[in-house]
Amino acid sequence: MINFIVTSALLWLSPVTQPLAQPSQVPNLTWPTSAHVIRDFAPPWPDWLPGHRGLDLAASKGERVRTPQRGVLVWKGRPGGTPTVVVQHGAARASYQPVSTDLPLFTALAPAQAIGIVRQGTGHCVACLHWGLRIGERYLDPRLLLGDASARLVAPAVASR
């Protein structure tokens, strides 16, 4: 039992050494945009400190945004003045900013379906799409929605080193 606990802890705390994938490097998966990652997922530790709790993808105003998996549009609004769309994927919730949509709430979404368009950004994401993912209160690397093997499943303390 102790070996299992130690092994599990080591796997959980081990940094990922694989290079992080870009949309063009992961075929047959639907990224929200076709652009590359311009700022990576960097969760803080402890979790109340500043950090980057998602991915930023290069994007232009007016560009279509697609959902990578089947889901349901569960929220749309302008928190802090930033247009935001939230899609529920099972237990996970993905957020897209600055994105607006004309779809009604609770629309069932198919994989690769357009969910909205990029709007003029504010804050850190002026010329990009900020893509976040949460399960409960825990932020995760959104590439997990793609089945991307290079997505980082590391403890926040390791990610901030």
Whole-prediction pTM:
0.73
pLDDT (tens digit, 9 = 90+) per residue, 37-48?
998 888 888 878
Binned at pLDDT 50, 70 and 90, residue 148 comes out as low
Nearest to 39 by CA among 63, 59, 64, 62: 59
User: If you average pLDDT over residues 141-151, what whole number do you get?
Assistant: 75
Q: What average pLDDT is seen over the chain?
A: 77
Q: Which of 29-33, 56-60, 104-108 has the highest mean pLDDT?
A: 104-108
* CATH code of 129's domain: 2.70.70.10
Higher pLDDT, 32 or 147: 32
Expressed as residue numbers, the domain containing 81 is: 2-159
Over 50: is that where the pLDDT of 138 sits? Answer: yes
User: Based on the structure, what is the number of domains in the chain?
Assistant: 1
Residue 34: what pLDDT?
80
